[in-house]
Each structure stands twice: as structure tokens, then as C-alpha cells.
Structure 1
Amino acid sequence: MKDEENVINWRWILLISFGAMVVILAPLFIVWFFLALPFPYNIVMITGVFVFLRVLSSYLRFRSRGAKKN
């Protein structure tokens, strides 16, 4: 019984550490990718991402308010 508990604990520890690594490294990799692009493209891509997030947040806010039917 004690061995099974240790296996479960190690699974959770590995899962949490891998998730934290992904959460920390993914934004860094995305920022590095955008900055590595040639000059006009990196500005366009970053602006496009901000516009997309803005439109998405507005859409989600509109949906969460509940659009009235007629």
C-alpha cells in the first residue's frame, strides 16, 4: 500500500513540474519567435496577436452577458 502511494505522489510531482515548465517556457518561446522575425513581420505579428486577444475578450464578455433574443 505504501509503494502505491509513493507512485501516485511521484506522478503528481512530475505532472506539476512538467506543467510548470510548459507554462513558463511556452510564452518565452513565443516571444523569442516573434522577436526573431525580420523587422516588419514581428511588429505585424505582435499587433495581430493583441488585436485577436482584444476581439476574443470582447466576444467572450458579450456572450457572458447573455444576448437577448428579440
Structure 2
Amino acid sequence: MHGELATLGIKIAPSTVWEILKQEGLDPAPERASTTWADFLRSQADALLACDFIETVTFNGQRQ
């Protein structure tokens, strides 16, 4: 969460993010540090590649 906010240019302390999540009753995700974005993408590569080949035809025959 903190990293995403920083990417958007929003400066906030990691402890502030933690406090907000705690106040809302959201516990830290298990094994948060063990899964990186790159690991997630690698594990989902087959599904992501398959999505590139999906074609939808609308009611008026237009392809998307």
C-alpha cells in the first residue's frame, strides 16, 4: 500500500498506513514480504498470456 501511494506521489509514512489498516480491522497479509510483484506475474503468466487471445463479438458484430 505504501509503495503504491509513493508511486502516485503521495508521501505518507509506512507506519501511518499500518495504523489506518489496523483501525479498519485489516490485519497484515500473511507472508507479505515473501511474494513480490514479479513472483506474482510469473505465477500467473499462463493465464495472462491466455487473456491476450480472448476475442469478444458484440451483438452488432463488432469484435473487441
Instruction: Indicate the TM-score class for this superposition, using the shorter chain for normalisation.
Output: under 0.3
Query: TM-score, normalised to structure 2's length?
Result: 0.25
TM-score in terms of structure 1 length:
0.24
